Structure 1
């Protein structure tokens, strides 16, 4: 990568596919003539030499196509292209073409709105001082003098136009407005552009311009270079899919899924479903798919809500996209959804249609609903469309697609799926509910499964969901929040106060509750400043908190007049509030526990080459074997230039997780050169390349297996953490079926596999009033804790209660239980007996032991109790056991 491209990459935070595309542009910009009188044949040969997939420019000017999957970031890449060509080549005139009005408006905003998080030039110093001149189809006439002045002063000028409008005007038999004579300049603006000596054309979603009219207009523009960006480098003609011939880089949807830039698409069907039963009643089949899609949607909605709560993220409101056959079909589907029998009429005002037959106010209202469908205040949860969702409608909250009639066009099907692939938080979270797009496919299930087996499939076979109709619940899931006892007591007191009829009494009680809440609000901060909860009761800490409350009230115009009254209330309520807080908290030190860097690598050795006796294969076989890798095609006439054999093998080796190129490159090249020398002992250079290309994966695995015999790993030590004396008890966010009851914790649940879906209450010693359990073992263990007199308090920690990380800091450990007795605090994990000695369980145990050591060092130095870790096999958790027995027998 040259220096300019490298700076742009860093300033714009380009992703690897964007970075690779910019590298290719930089490479080609150095070898192309970049003049209007360039020899097209000679220019094409330059590109083909480096990128054999480019066999024809397909325009009357040099044009190269970058195919990037939806959601990877084509708009930012266009900004990088403009920046590079300006900074490195001095090009100042650009013409960016949009396929429709939606994309046109979006591009203008992304290239001009400096306050938008999507502004494409953020971080580029040249454009911070002098922003590019933005020229649109709406302002080029009345701003022409300013445009001329900008060009004379060497400013970057970016023209934005909409090809669909140009083509529409052409179809009416008249000249597009841009090509009409304009008296002010004595010519059309189009002709004015054609005379610019450095005009670069950038075509967004360029498959739209391959129609005859589009190609004619753009060929007349005669730019020095065309840059096409699209997710679908193909056009559909006469039922055939015709691939572009000028692609120099392709980053497919399959790769984007693999690399985590978009959601994982999954397909869903019912278990043992036979679509033939509904061949005479397609509308009944539609209703089944709709109902199942809505059930998945409801589950997804709750899981997204819980993820946002647990991770303190902005809430994502998911919606369902229903694909209808035609406008009549769309109306039938909406009637089904709005009927009282469809989920009790819940979705009557939460569904909309969008199709080309709509006009006037209805169309405008629906378009606005569509544009704002991500807004939590927008009630729409189901969108029914008939081929209306083209490029430019970039939403991140589409999670369920229900295709009720298959689209004929491959491109259209891919675009429909593509609408749902963008990630709401910009990257994968590791939570499957947040990272997955589900497509209902009851009647097309086998067809999609078969397609998933193909090498170029965008849907992976392992992402297939089977719905068992016996387990479908009619009730909708919802979020159930289990507050800590302290938070719940405040909530219940507030509800009690609201029922007091006497207004004066009610106001006094409200003030008392507000004062207690004010005192409690300081608790999260105090863990950093004191060594134990007991210090909250000391006069010094009490005085400090009261002074802070006084200062806050002094600075608030709302409370300034009542400072002394409030402080008096605080002084009276402080001791009782702190006593209640102390009685309902387990003193859990806040420790951020992370691993440092591990030391790993390979001891030096010589490669055993005796087993490497590959022979070259015929050219025809080689071509067939490498069809899936377009960068390594070998033709019959001539061999395309490749990387060196040693680099091809190195590229295979660095795919293995244990191999780090930066620290191990010396050994890697030593081993690979030993192998190449062995090959050369019985093969010529041409056959060595042939063998390496054809057998590279097997060669890579063979070398890797020898390397692993010499692998060493020194596990990472945990870094010494900063310790805070305590944290507040965090709430749980659970999924609960709306009409399912909350169970008393001693109730017997059958079948036991349904226990994880239930919520239990009735606990006396726990720090929350409701819990879920992952297994019968955990539920039984909670009963033991409740019945054991030696146990003072216990809790099931919420996800954010502990900050203990393992697996090289990639995973967070969540203990099953925390138990407090008179002489200690215990972190408890109950595990299936067969899993106790597995690597993952042992690694989590080690992380927990480090936490307990740091916690004990801190608490015992400050008069507190020591911490211990218990790892208990499931088969010993029986009702007659005591906690003391567990503490003695399973202490680590």
Structure 2
């Protein structure tokens, strides 16, 4: 297998785990059967290829085409287009393939693919691929292939990618003529179709490949005679009158359930009103209530998204609501209703678009323009009504609320609804439910959808464990707490930690008798008490001073229980304990088996003032609506329920008090000094609500039921106007050293400990692996987040005196990210003859991110203060290193990385 190319492309394109696994499977297939890349294979050779690959992939039964074709079934939202870019990059880099044909099922996907394969576009699939940096692939489309045919022999690009809509090669035209692509071209002496079919290295990539199983599409694709076919789809089956027929050529299956579980897509949830009884309502009333509740969810989600963006300093996401109509007549009626004055006082006038086949000409162009721009925060559309036009390829990340008004069974309703709204706006889950959730308003179908989702064959629950199949016995994860080597070295703990077959030799413990171990345990208690006695022991090196050892021995003597007095005296009696020797030997081990990590705090001195400066709230887009019933929702995957609105609370005398009384619950808001500002901000919000709600009762309803949501939004905006000042700041070293934490790892029962020097075969699973065999690490086991970390550990073993991967809480160091202050846990701490090093390894394309820069600032500042403390104690200075991942190679020395030392800004 071309593992080097696979690893390089996985890293450069930052592939997600299922994408990386798909690329690895393609490489494995080509390695197993080189005949796959042979031009002009005969039928016998094709049969041989199938037989070999059937042994490689248990799910592969047949190619289902006249050439080897492999299907990669990845759930919507995981990233099939980026995977296509990875496939092309790999096939060119590892096998020299230069010609590709990308097939789209419709014009929407066709246009999207052209955009994603075009350089300098937001989602360019080859960003970071060195081979295409100077000369990107030449893109030939169904619209320009006739002009490009003139330059086919003069292309500077190393790779040519043809992007066509399937209709371009299957459609017949009037008069029985062949499609234009099959007509003779005077520039190349044959049709462009025949030119492509004659290429010896044409690889076909089929997006949404379930759309190419009809007779015409199948025949046209076979006529292209590609070397290899790569199919991508989220639905690896063909619908027939007898039910779905699964593909027989699937080699990678990553279903929706896995994508939801791994956090790559939104969490779909079905929502209804509590105690709602649709049977006792006319259908038009049910529809009205669903639309109103959909808007309530939409408006609340809008506020949550604004709050999250402001709180975390990220781009703002404008959500929209999707209404699924029965037909074009129903859609037109809905459009009129949603834009009328009777629907939330006309708030959605000019904010609703109808998307269906009733539009033609200029109206259709305007509809498409608005639909394609719906993700933009500057585009006014907030509600989209559609009738069966939003198919595959309409990729948006800001669909948050769906109101289905079309009759369908529960399975179809859910599958068709969530397919367009699963993508996450920030590319990952945020941990905020409202930001990570897709809500389906289904008052009249709530229980039916819940029951269907609970069925064994539900797509929400269905799990096919083809990716990352665990080893035998690896299906019972257990939690393991790893003690530092110090306890075992002293004899206070027995090592039960498994090691690799060729691991580091086990050193005999210093203390072997029960009485010595008892004394050593008390020594450790006394040494721990010196953490806060920075004057007596600024570092552990102070323990080597004989005078301090004598004081420690005296303290141990007072704490040590007396020896058993009933033992007979005689020649076999145990010798009297030499306590001074125990202290001296224990201290020697402690100094060798620890790294001094001080506890540092920066505290203000003198007069300290803080608060919030006055400002004008940004209330654009906030249009919360009154509520008459609670909404209840349930996640379809994990059955977690949530209530949308709170019960009415205390009736406040002043409307502003609903907000002020909620805000002052925050620890950093002092009512005494900030009351004027708080009432000013609350007054701005009350006036905003009065501007669009009809009376005071509606304003009070919103303030009462949404008080927390409103307060959160105001608080997020207040953070940008926070100030704190002091006459001076002081750095306090509150502990000269701290005991090593005991990290806890989750590992599979019976999982073998791997030698840290050995490169894992499956790098995508490295976070699940446990490594050992260390000589200089202060722990017997370590886990790594990436292979870069493992490689850096190899360098540390070779060049440092001792090192560790610190556990959470070891430094108690925090960095500022938006209004949050998460704890920073660096990747490594190491000690050399000259320095103490704090090291962070990062992918080069992440070095400029706000989070990495904030961590680096916190780490560099900590090291600066620690070094200043070290000058006063004669200890070694600290340096903070931010190391790009691609510089971690075996030829480097640890000192080479000092060039990456960061200084605080």
User: Does residue 103 of structure 2 align to residue 272 of structure 1?
Assistant: no
1:220 is aligned to: 223
Structure 2 residue corresponding to 1:244, chosen from 240, 244, 247: 247
User: Does residue 83 of structure 2 align to residue 77 of structure 1?
Assistant: yes
2:178 is aligned to: 175
CA displacement at 1:304 relative to structure 2: 0.9
Residues matched between the structures, number: 564
2:101 is aligned to: 95
Cα deviation 1:293-319 (Å, max 9, x = unaligned): 000101111111111111122211110
Residue correspondence of structure 1 range 297-312 to structure 2 within 5 A: 297-312=298-313
Is the CA contact (8 Å cut-off) linking 1:267 and 1:440 kept in structure 2?
A: yes
Cα deviation 1:829-856 (Å, max 9, x = unaligned): xxxxxxxxxxxxxxxxxxxxxxxxx9xx
2:673 is aligned to: 765
Is the CA contact (8 Å cut-off) linking 1:236 and 1:411 kept in structure 2?
A: no
Is the CA contact (8 Å cut-off) linking 1:40 and 1:61 kept in structure 2?
A: yes
Residue correspondence of structure 1 range 239-388 to structure 2 within 5 A: 240-278=243-281, 281-388=282-389
Distance 1:800 1:227 in 2: 53
CA displacement at 1:800 relative to structure 2: 10
Is the CA contact (8 Å cut-off) linking 1:317 and 1:375 kept in structure 2?
A: yes
SS of match in other structure, 2:280 = helix
Structure 1 residue corresponding to 2:41, chosen from 22, 37, 40: 37
2:600 is aligned to: 720
1:140 is aligned to: 145
1:667 is aligned to: 498
Distance 1:75 1:722 in 2: 48
Is the CA contact (8 Å cut-off) linking 1:762 and 1:770 kept in structure 2?
A: no
CA 1:716–1:307: 2 relative to 1, 3 Å: farther
2:236 is aligned to: 233
Distance 2:413 2:181 in 1: 30
SS of match in other structure, 1:454 = coil
Distance 1:450 1:172 in 2: 54
SS of match in other structure, 2:455 = coil
CA 1:10–1:411: 2 relative to 1, 3 Å: farther
User: Does residue 125 of structure 2 align to residue 120 of structure 1?
Assistant: yes
Is the CA contact (8 Å cut-off) linking 1:236 and 1:409 kept in structure 2?
A: no
Distance 2:178 2:497 in 1: 65
CA 1:766–1:17: 2 relative to 1, 3 Å: same
Is the CA contact (8 Å cut-off) linking 2:353 and 2:385 kept in structure 1?
A: yes
Is the CA contact (8 Å cut-off) linking 2:325 and 2:405 kept in structure 1?
A: yes
Instruction: Please say which of residues 79-88 and 762-771 is displaced more in the overlay.
Output: 762-771
CA displacement at 1:37 relative to structure 2: 0.9
SS of match in other structure, 1:325 = coil
What is the TM-score of this pair, normalised by structure 1? 0.57
Cα deviation 1:396-435 (Å, max 9, x = unaligned): 1111011111447967852431211111112111111211
1:104 is aligned to: 110
Cα deviation 1:69-117 (Å, max 9, x = unaligned): 111111111011001111111111110111111211221221122x223
SS of match in other structure, 1:314 = coil
SS of match in other structure, 1:208 = helix
Distance 1:375 1:796 in 2: 22
Cα deviation 1:124-155 (Å, max 9, x = unaligned): 111112211111112221122322233xx782
Structure 2: gaps of 5 or more residues: 486-494, 502-593, 627-648, 683-715, 725-806, 820-861, 870-905
CA RMSD of aligned residues (A): 4.4
1:394 is aligned to: 395
Distance 1:458 1:811 in 2: 41
SS of match in other structure, 2:139 = strand
Structure 1: gaps of 5 or more residues: 461-626, 633-641, 671-713, 774-794, 817-853, 862-892
1:130 is aligned to: 135
1:23 is aligned to: 24
CA 1:239–1:374: 2 relative to 1, 3 Å: farther
CA 1:193–1:401: 2 relative to 1, 3 Å: same
CA 1:656–1:297: 2 relative to 1, 3 Å: farther
Distance 1:41 1:233 in 2: 23
Distance 2:174 2:248 in 1: 27
CA displacement at 1:166 relative to structure 2: 3.4
2:801 is aligned to: none
Cα deviation 1:841-883 (Å, max 9, x = unaligned): xxxxxxxxxxxxx9xx99xx9xxxxxxxxxxxxxxxxxxxxxx
Is the CA contact (8 Å cut-off) linking 2:267 and 2:437 kept in structure 1?
A: yes
Cα deviation 1:209-231 (Å, max 9, x = unaligned): 11211111001111111000111
Is the CA contact (8 Å cut-off) linking 2:611 and 2:674 kept in structure 1?
A: no
Distance 1:656 1:143 in 2: 60
CA displacement at 1:263 relative to structure 2: 1.1
Cα deviation 1:143-198 (Å, max 9, x = unaligned): 22322233xx7821111111134344469954221112223323211011111111
1:703 is aligned to: none
1:440 is aligned to: 441
1:160 is aligned to: 163
Distance 1:656 1:362 in 2: 61
CA displacement at 1:339 relative to structure 2: 2.5
CA displacement at 1:334 relative to structure 2: 1.7
Distance 2:456 2:77 in 1: 22
Instruction: Please say which of residues 442-451 and 82-91 is displaced more in the overlay.
Output: 442-451
SS of match in other structure, 2:253 = strand
SS of match in other structure, 1:353 = strand
Distance 1:200 1:364 in 2: 34
Residue correspondence of structure 1 range 479-878 to structure 2 within 5 A: 629=464, 631=466, 648-649=471-472, 651-653=474-476, 655-656=477-478, 658=480, 667=498, 720=600, 729=611, 763-766=671-674, 769-770=677-678
Distance 2:235 2:459 in 1: 13
1:211 is aligned to: 214
Structure 2 residue corresponding to 1:149, chosen from 132, 148, 154: 154
Cα deviation 1:213-270 (Å, max 9, x = unaligned): 1111001111111000111112212262121111111111111111111111111011
Distance 1:458 1:800 in 2: 47
What is the TM-score of this pair, normalised by structure 2? 0.56
CA 1:757–1:376: 2 relative to 1, 3 Å: farther
CA 1:756–1:438: 2 relative to 1, 3 Å: farther
Distance 1:174 1:306 in 2: 59
Is the CA contact (8 Å cut-off) linking 1:749 and 1:755 kept in structure 2?
A: no
Structure 2 residue corresponding to 1:48, chosen from 35, 48, 54: 54
SS of match in other structure, 1:202 = strand
SS of match in other structure, 1:414 = helix
SS of match in other structure, 1:652 = coil
Distance 1:205 1:727 in 2: 60
Is the CA contact (8 Å cut-off) linking 1:261 and 1:428 kept in structure 2?
A: yes
Distance 1:739 1:353 in 2: 24
Distance 2:296 2:57 in 1: 48
CA 1:165–1:739: 2 relative to 1, 3 Å: closer
Distance 2:720 2:167 in 1: 51
Is the CA contact (8 Å cut-off) linking 1:310 and 1:800 kept in structure 2?
A: no
CA displacement at 1:289 relative to structure 2: 0.7
Distance 1:186 1:70 in 2: 42
User: Does residue 419 of structure 2 align to residue 418 of structure 1?
Assistant: yes
